Amino acid sequence: MIFGYARVSKNDQNLDRQLDQLKQAGCNRIYQEKMTGTKKERPELTRMMDSLREGDTIIVCELTRLSRSVKDLFELVERINEIGADIKSLKEPWLDTTTPHGRLLFSVFSGVSQFERDIIRERTLEGISAARARGRKGGRPKIDPKTVKLALDLYDSRACSVDNILRTTGISRATLYSYIKNRKTL
């Protein structure tokens, strides 16, 4: 079975161009949605992935319709690959796992992407190690317990507004509410 996936980011945008291209490409079933690609939960994409079987093919007009990040794209293509299905982009000919050439190109790009992630991780760990060697511990600076106690006392007294408490103590709203919620003993 050949599935198509079409997506636009806003409700007032039109899917017609993508639908025409996917029909022309021979899609038997087209999943379509109007939702931003930055959302991880896209119901139609999930439905399509759930109905995908070995030997099926997914066609998209362009990769930006399927994913907004390279990491997300590679994870999605890997899931499709694990099922034994293929994916093809009409706009980006290098992503066509239905051909040996396309599988090779995707493997190369995937390897480069993994290499980049590994290098970033390695540099981050080196940076943390170098900072620790210089005596830096990292993380957020600790708030003086006396300041937190003052903020909680002011809050409990109801004598000051939250904005006044924040200005007086210099702590953030999120921190104040976190301490109120957890009532850490000082």
Residue type, 6: A
Cα(129)–Cα(118) distance, integer angstroms: 16
Residue 9 bears catalytic tag: yes
Cα(10)–Cα(107) distance, integer angstroms: 33
Cα(179)–Cα(152) distance, integer angstroms: 8
Residue with tokens 């003993």: 185
Burial 166-179 (b: 16+ CB within 10 A, else e): beebebeeebbeeb
- Choosing from 9, 69, 89, 113, the catalytic residue is 9
Q: Provide the annotated active-site residues.
A: 9
